[in-house]
Structure 1
């Protein structure tokens, strides 16, 4: 017979089991979300090529307001799945703009977080999309490099102007549709709207890109789909070509417009309504710009989201000012919300004292 005292001694001497598989999985998932700051710190003393790889992956994710190397890797995989030629052009533009920033002596933290890479990638991708020479036209590599490098010069020049307002440097449709609207294709077009930010027009790569957004921030992933859906509805209201709706071309500006508000404002019912309004405004602005530029044979690209997003960030209403996040302090919406709650609690305690 074992006495109660001996049982207590046995219980105390029995080693405690670790948190278990579930806790380890959750910890790993949390490590991969947000900005992965621990990885960024760990890479500080590594070889330059390893650091450059992290910078480039963060630069890829910066195209859609993220800052996560794992998200960047998923987006790169999506680009390779969609078109290896487009992936090559995008990476070349990103490397050119990043190296130009290093040579110009730009802020090390900005370079390492990908802020001087995403514009170069976007320009190179657009060159590939609108080139009439088709894929694997090797002469296009030269303008892709030059265009990527030029974005660094341009963004550096604009920074002195836009910094004063705390802003980040950033075919005519048929008159009628004669075919019946296909709802499943329309819903697929909402997902493709997220992929079209990177000129991906197939479902697999688009889902990878959406997954990349989800890794960084589930809130931004919801906003991306919400904005694309709203923009698609706006396109329906203006009777744009069904092919634009099905391919996601009507959705990507709305997705970007909605994400801009989600990234630069603390989540609240006011800012949620603002994000919906910006998605609508981006969609209708895109339709107007597409009709205007079609006369000149030029694409509207993401000008609409850039323009409306800038206007939203310039809003100075008292009800919104307290939710606006300074550009230099923007992280994931979840982290922004957590920091805002901590700040509010600290202010409340100070007032009570």
Structure 2
């Protein structure tokens, strides 16, 4: 892309940023995911696009590493901030004043990404979506009102999150078809998308990048849903995919992305999915008392812990951050290549 004009380069960088949300690194996958967002909600699509551009331009202005910018590493956190601001807004679609916090929140992500990266790089850990989780939590705290208040925030009203453990009236049976539908929606909820068709298109974008990653996405969402059933979370969390997306993220990150795929790391990915789902339930119940969502704090924290595991058994499968690619490509590379830093045909990624 070096010889292309800047607008073309910007489009490719932005689409890579969109695909980073689902742990991919492919502009075509990003285009499919973005199309799914516009399909589900044109307003959400606009917010996501503004978030990516605001975050990417900020990274360019403050002089972040050009390789990281071109790889889309400075755009996906901003996009997630924009999508969650829109998803929790109570002002309805096409509330143009919402673009102000979207731009400010997205622009804050490169600063946090750079600052956190200087610390986490010492332990060979990805910055992941820590900037997104931090910014969206602070935004919702800034615009929240006390529980039971008669009036919402006058400028940026937003819906309050409900703890998943909240008991529903007469919710004694589950609809098996709706639960299965919720597993597919768990992949879409990574983008705060709760529509079935767009969620399947998002899953297709993962398949395009890596079929193995897609398998772990569905498996992790199913595990998260199972964990929700075991904890008797409210049915709407199961049906809308809210119980599954943290499990999907955790399973994808460990199941072949940061560890070479094998039966040992596959079991570790399943374990990560279970832990992510249960931690999400706990955090959601805790933060829900303040009307706040737990976002993807659970998956981010859990797979960070999993990457810190030591021991010869797992160390042999651990892939250095700068050498991570799609699971299928990771399988072709040997440990000696990683240690030698052979990056001639490889491209670093992040989560």
* Paired residue secondary structure (1:146): helix
Deviation at 1:341, TM superposition (A): 8.0
Equivalent of 2:87, from 126, 129, 143?
Answer: 129
The answer to whether structure 1 residue 286 and structure 2 residue 244 are counterparts is: no
The answer to whether structure 1 residue 199 and structure 2 residue 192 are counterparts is: yes
The answer to whether structure 1 residue 301 and structure 2 residue 259 are counterparts is: no
Equivalent of 2:308, from 296, 309, 314?
Answer: 314
Question: Could you give the per-residue CA deviations for residues 217-246 of structure 1, whole angstroms, max 9, x where no partner exists?
Answer: 000000000000001000000001111111
For 1:112-123, list aligned pairs within 5 A.
112-123=70-81
The answer to whether structure 1 residue 220 and structure 2 residue 213 are counterparts is: yes
The answer to whether structure 1 residue 276 and structure 2 residue 234 are counterparts is: no
* Paired residue secondary structure (1:65): coil
Cα pair 1:266 1:340 within 8 Å, conserved: no
Partner Cα distance (1:174, 1:303) in 2: 20
Q: Which has the larger radius of gyration?
A: 1
Tell me what 2:249 maps to.
256
Q: Gaps spanning 5+ residues in structure 2: where?
A: 129-161, 341-351
Query: TM-score, normalised on structure 2?
Result: 0.84
Which deviates more, 98-107 or 204-213?
A: 98-107
Question: Could you give the per-residue CA deviations for residues 273-330 of structure 1, whole angstroms, max 9, x where no partner exists?
Answer: 0000000000000000010001111111111111101111111121001111111111
Deviation at 1:82, TM superposition (A): 0.6
Tell me what 1:190 maps to.
183
Partner Cα distance (2:94, 2:334) in 1: 49
Instruction: Count how many residue pairs are aligned between Structure 1 and Structure 2.
Output: 303
Question: Could you give the per-residue CA deviations for residues 20-63 of structure 1, whole angstroms, max 9, x where no partner exists?
Answer: xxxxxxxxxxxxxxxxxxxxxxx221110001000000000001
Tell me what 1:246 maps to.
239
Cα pair 1:89 1:144 within 8 Å, conserved: yes
Partner Cα distance (1:285, 1:327) in 2: 25
Deviation at 1:134, TM superposition (A): 1.6
Deviation at 1:342, TM superposition (A): 8.4
Tell me what 2:32 maps to.
74
Normalized per residue, which structure has more helix?
A: 1
Q: Gaps spanning 5+ residues in structure 1: where?
A: 1-42, 347-353
Tell me what 1:181 maps to.
174
Question: Could you give the per-residue CA deviations for residues 146-168 of structure 1, whole angstroms, max 9, x where no partner exists?
Answer: 11110001111111111101111
Partner Cα distance (1:343, 1:251) in 2: 35
Equivalent of 1:340, from 325, 328, 334?
Answer: 334
Question: Could you give the per-residue CA deviations for residues 139-187 of structure 1, whole angstroms, max 9, x where no partner exists?
Answer: 1101101111100011111111111011111212333663421111111
Highest relative contact order (Cα 8 Å, sep 6+), 1 or 2?
2
For 1:22-33, list aligned pairs within 5 A.
none
Partner Cα distance (2:209, 2:171) in 1: 41
The answer to whether structure 1 residue 157 and structure 2 residue 137 are counterparts is: no
* Paired residue secondary structure (2:125): coil
Provide runs of 4+ in structure 1 moved above 6 Å: none
Tell me what 1:5 maps to.
none
Partner Cα distance (1:117, 1:174) in 2: 35
For 1:90-109, list aligned pairs within 5 A.
90-109=48-67
RMSD (CA atoms)? 1.5
